């Protein structure tokens, strides 16, 4: 069959042919597909009519949770620590 050198040179020739085809496609275009940019439909910003109200309510709940966490952290324990260690 082929010797190793012939196989390498055959692969090299095929690679050069493929590279030339790719260059032609990049320069001329293939003609098989449309090269114009596809326009995307306009983006819809909000999914619901109550978006602003839901956002306000979520912010209010987050604020209440932060205040509650601060109260829990700053509260003094009801039982002394020594009693709990027993």
What's the pLDDT score for residue 6?
81
Buried-exposed string 11-29: b where 16+ CB fall within 10 A, e elsewhere: eeeeeeeeeeeeeeeeeee
Domain ranges of the chain: 4-31+48-85
What's the pLDDT score for residue 35?
56
What's the pLDDT score for residue 65?
93
Tokens, residue 31 = 């003609």
Low-confidence ranges of the chain (pLDDT < 70): 1-2, 29-38, 41-46, 86
What's the pLDDT score for residue 22?
83
Report the distance separating Cα 60 and Cα 70, nearest Å.
15
What's the pLDDT score for residue 66?
92
């Amino acid at each position: 069959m082929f010797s190793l050198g012939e196989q390498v040179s055959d692969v090299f020739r095929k690679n050069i042919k493929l590279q030339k085809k790719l260059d032609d496609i990049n320069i001329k275009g293939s003609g098989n597909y449309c090269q114009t940019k596809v326009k995307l439909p306009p983006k819809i910003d909000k999914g619901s009519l109550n978006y602003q109200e839901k956002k306000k309510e979520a912010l209010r709940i987050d604020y209440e949770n932060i205040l509650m966490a601060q109260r829990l952290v700053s509260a003094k324990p009801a039982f002394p620590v020594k009693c709990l260690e027993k």
